[in-house]
Amino acid sequence: MAIGQTYKNIQRMQTILNILFKHGFGHFIERLNLQNFISYSKISSLVLRSETVTPSEQFTFNERFRMALEELGPTFVKFGQVLSSRPDFVPEAMTLELKKLQEQVPPFSYYEVKSQIESEFNQPLSEIFSDFSEKPLASASIAQVHQARLEDDTEVVVKVQRPKIDIIIDTDLNILLNLALLLERYVAESKAYQPVALVEEFAKAIKRELDFNLEAANTARFYHNFFNDDTIRIPMVYWSLTSKKVLTMEQLIGFKLDNIAELETHGFDCTVLAQNLGESFLMQVLDHGFFHADPHPGNLVAIIGNRIGFMDFGMIGRLDEETKESLATTVIALLQRDYDRLTNEFLQMGFLSEKTNLKSFRDDLIDFIEPYHGRSLKNIEIGAVISKAVEIAVKHKAHVPPDLMLLGKALLTIEGVGRQLDPELDLVELGTPFSFRIIRRKLSPARFLKSTYHLVQESGDLFRILPKQLKGIFTKLEKDNLKVIFHHYGLENFIRELDRASNKITVGIIISALILSSSLLINAGTGPYLFSYPAFGLIGFSLAAFFGIWLVVTIVRSGRF
């Protein structure tokens, strides 16, 4: 089984590299020393060493990258979508191109849907649902959604995972991680973008999406959070009909939020809808610390009564109490134009390192924020503000945590949808009461007592452990048993190249020895004979020729003469 899987991985690697080469990334493949995986029927070593191929003359680098990801399939399309939300990792021009990525995945057959459901619940489909639509409502790379009806006539939607998609994604993730490792090893400039960390973050996210039990738990938590809110609807999960690969939920009947004319025809007040949408999202962020990270129009519906329905909770973000407080303090510092406090808040949140020039960062903040003061808040686009903030963060090499990047992307989306409904929507004004409420909660006596209790408890732990640790250090010093370990960084490539060079020199010496000894044997004329020549001499010359050709081919392939 392991051998079979390894063979599939190699085949998939060859497919991936051939597609990358097709779209003009031959030079990139060569830098990673992956030429041997390329199909030699499609390329030559001469083409491999060229920096450009035909596609680069027709499309830009970013366009070719996006086209390659689309051809590589679901895992890579989703990876590109993640990259498009990380302007701190990739240039703005590339993020704009990656936002065009489309999941060009046809629906899988009703027979496969039926088999998947029946295998998950060990029952015939007809005994689980009184009616089940063969035609899917929607189809995506990981799953597709069908309408169905329970035995009590309740209308539900059933999300069914694509057959064997987990195996495909696991294979692609392994290859992506290996490519990221090779990038960091051979392409020095890539280390600034932390490709391995990015792939690991993506792997965690997509594996969470593969477990529908997690999505069901997220949905249930949202349902609980908004249970008493008359302005928001969250679908109820049917746990008895939910598993890792099948998710059954209540069907929300409503209208798309991006069709204003239809909403007005059915009597909706778009201003109220926009306010309910904005307030519900701010509540998720600043009250619950648990927010919908992908609130695009396809995941939102308008329900009679000017209510907003949220759907599809596969991608969510989490904020701890400390981060929520920092966000609230940031909003208030912005309103009060307190730049020192703002800079300190960014430092405490871990955005900035000790290497950051705080004065330069503060000056950039002032230049960035001051033009907005004196303008009506409703005329300030949060999307533009976030984009500029990310630009400053990249300039000062600030580290933005993944959940805050998700929050930025979600805010951009909410602002876009909300201002379609009501151009006067002002998320800053809506968020100010939430921020002051968090600050009051932070300064409450109960919170102070709780913090003091934790501080005393941690101090007690420190004073209990510290004497033992100090005693251990001094004991090792006394016995000359203290070891200091040094790690050398950046020498791996040098050592590897040195090993390769020494191996080639060794092979060269062996070839020379074979040629010399074979010449002596032939001159000596000792038997046995082959074609009237001493056999051992001919064998020696043949081996020397074989190793010589192999050495020349290896040097030519490496491109180093």
DSSP of 263-323, one letter per residue? HHHTT--HHHHHHHHHHHHHIIIIIISEEES---GGGEEEETTTEEEE---SSEEE--HHH
Higher pLDDT, 503 or 81: 81
What distance in Å separates the CA atoms of residue 281 and residue 427, rounded to the nearest whole number?
10
HEC assignment per residue over 418-480: HHHHCCCCCHHHHHHHHHHHHHHHHCCHHHHHHHHHHHHHHHHHHHHHHHHHHHHHHHHHHCC
Mean pLDDT lowest among 65-74, 167-176, 184-193: 184-193
Non-local (6+) Cβ contacts of 260 within 8 A are: 270, 420, 421
If residue 200 lies in a helix (H) or strand (E), which one and from where to where? helix 195-210
**Count of other CB atoms within 10 angstroms of residue 479:** 8
Non-local (6+) Cβ contacts of 173 within 8 A are: 75, 199, 203, 206
Q: For 341-398, how does the pLDDT look when each residue is reduced to its tens digit (9 = 90+)?
A: 877 777 777 677 667 777 887 888 788 777 766 665 556 665 566 666 666 776 777 7
Q: For 508-548, how does the pLDDT look when each residue is reduced to its tens digit (9 = 90+)?
A: 787 777 777 777 767 776 667 766 677 777 777 777 777 77
- As beta bridge partners, residue 463 has none
Q: Reduced to 3 states, what is the DSSP secondary structure of residue 226?
A: coil
Structure letter (DSSP) for residue 187: -
Query: Is 294 among the catalytic positions?
Result: yes
What distance in Å separates the CA atoms of residue 482 and residue 488, rounded to the nearest whole number?
20
Place 278 in a pLDDT band, splitting at 50, 70 and 90: very high
- Ranges of beta strands (E only) in 150-284 are 155-161, 232-233, 246-250, 255-256
Q: Is it the case that residue 555 has pLDDT exceeding 80?
A: no
Catalytic choice (88, 230, 258, 294): 294
What distance in Å separates the CA atoms of residue 92 and residue 79, rounded to the nearest whole number?
16
Structure letter (DSSP) for residue 399: P
What distance in Å separates the CA atoms of residue 332 and residue 327, rounded to the nearest whole number?
9
Of 15-24, 277-286, 457-466, 509-518, the range with the highest mean pLDDT is 277-286
Nearest in space to 362 (alpha carbons), one of 385, 348, 341? 341
**What rounded mean pLDDT belongs to the chain?**
79
Token pair for residue 513? 């020895």
Residue pair 308/300 in contact by the 8 Å Cβ criterion = yes
Residue pair 358/347 in contact by the 8 Å Cβ criterion = yes
Q: How far is CA 92 from CA 65, 87, 164, 388, in A?
A: 14, 6, 35, 11
Dihedral sign (CA 282, 286, 291, 293): positive
Which pLDDT belongs to residue 381?
61
